[in-house]
Amino acid sequence: MSIPEQHERTPAPAGTPGVSGGLSGSAPGGFPRNELEEVLAASLGVPGAGARLIEVLGRSRIWVPLPNGGGPASPDLDLPTLDVAGIACVPVYSSEEEFLRGAGSHMPCTVAPAREFARGLPPQLGIAVNPGGTSVGVPLPPPAVAELCRTGRGEAG
């Protein structure tokens, strides 16, 4: 998997809880900060919002925690996983602010196009967007990640 940029920090304290299901207060700089966060906020309690969420996620950049470091030249990345309803999910964040709230300022990370990142994941993994009590979070099970891999080209965020 190609990771376009990395931000080095020292390791954060252990323990990243599950996925948030709703608003938990205002983040520094205000939520939402980008198109993905606007769609996340608008999708709360809306049946059928998944297709729009995957469409926007497919052209967005995400912040991925790398507890053991790594970067574009690394042959393998040691990605963390969370158990979300019995599914192993890689935690990712919709903005730097959400990353800092969910993973902490001492966690190394990389920023990557979500679609490209999803294409590098094993097919049995899901993605947890904004886990750990951030503003709005959502789990994507493996079939939704496969759909994300098929989204159109382009990038935003």
Three-state secondary structure of 9-71: CCCCCCCCCCECCCCCCCCCCCCCCCHHHHHHHHCCCCCCCHHHHHHHHCCEEEEEECCCCCC
Task: Give the chain's domain count.
Answer: 1
Residue 31 burial (CB count, 10 A): 24
- The span from the CA of 151 to the CA of 54, in Å, is 8
* Mean pLDDT of the region 111-139: 92
Structural contact between residues 125 and 89, judged by C-beta atoms closer than 8 angstroms: yes
User: Confidence class of residue 58 from pLDDT cuts 50, 70 and 90?
Assistant: very high
Residue 12 lies in a domain: no
* Mean pLDDT of the region 72-100: 91
- pLDDT reading at 65 higher than 50: yes
The pLDDT of residue 147? 97
Q: Which domain holds residue 78?
A: 29-149
- The span from the CA of 19 to the CA of 5, in Å, is 25
Residue 93 lies in a domain: yes
- pLDDT reading at 23 higher than 50: no
- The span from the CA of 154 to the CA of 46, in Å, is 26
Percent of the chain with pLDDT over 70: 75
* Mean pLDDT of the region 13-24: 36
pTM of the model: 0.77
- The span from the CA of 1 to the CA of 113, in Å, is 11
Residue 16 lies in a domain: no
Residue 2 lies in a domain: no
Residue 113 lies in a domain: yes
Residue 9 lies in a domain: no
User: Confidence class of residue 153 from pLDDT cuts 50, 70 and 90?
Assistant: low
* Mean pLDDT of the region 12-41: 60
